């Protein structure tokens, strides 16, 4: 579609895209280099930009332009960039016009300050320092839900931000299948001799860990001309534009797996962001289809690739050469089993594949209870310890290893956590299809070759950006909607072999 009206729509949306990029720069700097004293002014700056961006999206000018474009769609391929841009913009405008601009500004400021207070609270393992800020964030989230009444579930408006088209009931149904099967597998593995992993908890120099991670994501295809990596308290990926994708990692000297797998994980996110079609530049389509699809990419690289035997048959000799004292007497088989050890743990980001989803289910349960006022924020530390014991059989000795371990609530990301588990499920569905299309993929990975894998992901998933909702995209790629079956098959096959 080459019409003045459509070009005007793209111009208006481009301005929103630019503002969002500026907001991302401020958020990235806040979590990497900003001094602690800057939180309040940074919060005010982010609130101002958020409010301006919201007003632009909901302006009469953009809405009139959008309506004119909708009237010109007749005869256009519904899957074309133009038709999808109009559809996605309509969805976002309809969501935004329900939300007052003042709420947007207040929420941006509250979460900006909240993230700074969370970091202080975590550093001192004192939840009380964060409690009043989280209480305010939860009030704002309940208020946000009220803008979308009537709803089927109070959690639906939050989930829809990150997973357009999915309902809370859909997620709970998928989780109900996963929970029983994963608990069954964990109980089965408990009866078998535990694998050794103490060698991962020696001293590994931080610079060497960093350099190894950089080598891995470079080989995966990360474009350093359009991205960079820095340190942060909680690893994350953010995008200032298609030509500037930032990732962060966290290096722990006595935990080899932490930086390594978080680097690969964030690298998977970044590859997705670097792979959108150039035709989507400066539009709402130049982003991931959803957070679950985004997580499918990061968890695929982290686990299905990065924790595979094929991957380490290529990389383990290099790792041994880098750390001869620590790993010289550790065989590749022992290392492979060690990084795939199944053991309930306190920290979500360091948990194994078999127990990871239970961390997510616990958080979903708590988020819903908070929104429904069945739980008070002040009770979270004790509730967290109780639920961790129920779900995983472990209980944190302090807040830093318990309720304060994740930054998401400080950022107001209520509704985000389910996407991690959904990403695991989708990654296995994609992987099943990839293995059919690239029969010798394991052999290619064993030779350190990822080009064909990345090209497949780029052509089937990345190039589309946000043109399709999650269920649409999964259906297009695999032939079925989200199905936990392939993921459960993957877990059972892999871990029964590891614990044979």
Any alpha helices (H) in 125-167, and if so which ranges?
131-146, 156-162
3-state SS class at 10: helix
Terminal C-alpha separation, the chain = 59
Bridge partners of residue 237, in order along the sequence = 247
Residue 221 vs residues 159, 225, 226, 460: alpha-carbon distances, Å: 31, 11, 11, 16
3-state SS class at 359: helix
3-state SS class at 37: helix
Distance CA 147, CA 139 (A): 13
Q: Angle at Cα 297 formed by Cα 295 and Cα 303, nearest 5°? A: 90
3-state SS class at 249: strand
Catalytic residue (one of 92, 109, 163, 266): 266
Residue whose structure tokens are 């978080």:
262
* CA 467 distance to own-chain centroid: 19
Q: Is 70 among the residues known to form the active site?
A: no
Residue whose structure tokens are 């939180």:
39
Q: E strand or H helix at 231, and its extent?
A: strand 227-231
Neighbouring CB atoms inside 10 A of 408's CB total 18
* CA 22 distance to own-chain centroid: 21
Which residues are the active-site residues?
Answer: 266
């Amino acid at each position: 579609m080459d019409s003045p009206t459509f070009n005007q729509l793209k111009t208006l949306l481009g301005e929103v895209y630019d503002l969002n990029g500026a907001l991302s720069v401020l958020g990235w700097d806040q979590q990497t280099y900003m001094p602690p004293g800057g939180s309040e002014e940074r919060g005010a700056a982010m609130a101002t930009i958020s409010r301006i961006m919201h007003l632009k999206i909901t302006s009469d000018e953009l809405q009139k332009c959008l309506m004119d474009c909708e009237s010109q769609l007749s005869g256009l391929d519904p899957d074309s960039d133009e038709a999808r841009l109009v559809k996605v913009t309509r969805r976002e405008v309809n969501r935004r016009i329900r939300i007052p601009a003042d709420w947007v500004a207040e929420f941006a400021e509250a979460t900006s300050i909240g993230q700074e207070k969370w970091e202080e609270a975590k550093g001192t393992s004192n939840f009380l320092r964060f409690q009043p800020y989280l209480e305010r964030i939860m009030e704002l989230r309940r208020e946000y839900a009220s803008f979308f009444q009537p709803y089927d579930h109070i959690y639906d408006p939050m989930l829809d931000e990150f997973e357009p088209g999915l309902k809370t009931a859909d997620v709970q149904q998928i989780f109900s299948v996963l929970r029983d099967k994963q608990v069954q597998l964990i109980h089965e593995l408990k009866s078998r001799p535990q694998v050794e992993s103490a060698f991962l908890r020696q001293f590994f120099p931080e610079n060497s860990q960093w350099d190894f991670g950089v080598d891995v994501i470079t080989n995966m295809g990360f474009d350093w001309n359009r991205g960079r990596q820095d340190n942060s308290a909680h690893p994350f990926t953010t995008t200032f534009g298609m030509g500037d994708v930032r990732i962060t990692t966290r290096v722990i000297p006595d935990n080899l797996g932490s930086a390594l797998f978080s680097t690969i994980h964030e690298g998977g996110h970044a590859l997705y962001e670097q792979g959108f079609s150039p035709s989507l530049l400066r539009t709402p389509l130049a982003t991931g289809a959803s957070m679950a699809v985004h997580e499918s990419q990061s968890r695929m690289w982290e686990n299905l690739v990065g924790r595979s035997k094929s991957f380490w048959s290529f990389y383990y000799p290099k790792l041994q050469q880098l750390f001869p004292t620590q790993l010289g007497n550790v065989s590749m088989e022992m290392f492979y089993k060690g990084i795939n050890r199944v053991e309930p743990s306190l920290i979500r980001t360091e948990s194994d594949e078999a127990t990871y989803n239970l961390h997510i289910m616990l958080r979903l349960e708590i988020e819903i209870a908070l929104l429904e006022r069945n739980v008070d924020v002040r009770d979270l530390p004790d509730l967290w310890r109780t639920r961790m014991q129920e779900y995983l059989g472990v209980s944190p000795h302090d807040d830093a290893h318990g309720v304060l371990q994740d930054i998401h609530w400080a950022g107001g990301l209520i509704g985000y956590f389910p996407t991690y588990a959904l990403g695991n499920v989708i990654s296995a569905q994609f992987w099943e299809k990839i293995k059919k299309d690239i029969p010798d993929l394991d052999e290619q990975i064993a030779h350190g070759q990822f080009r064909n894998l990345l090209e497949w992901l780029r052509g089937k998933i990345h190039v589309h950006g946000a043109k399709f909702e999650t269920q649409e995209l999964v259906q297009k790629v695999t032939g079925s909607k989200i199905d936990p079956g392939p993921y459960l098959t993957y877990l059972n096959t892999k871990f029964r072999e590891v614990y044979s």
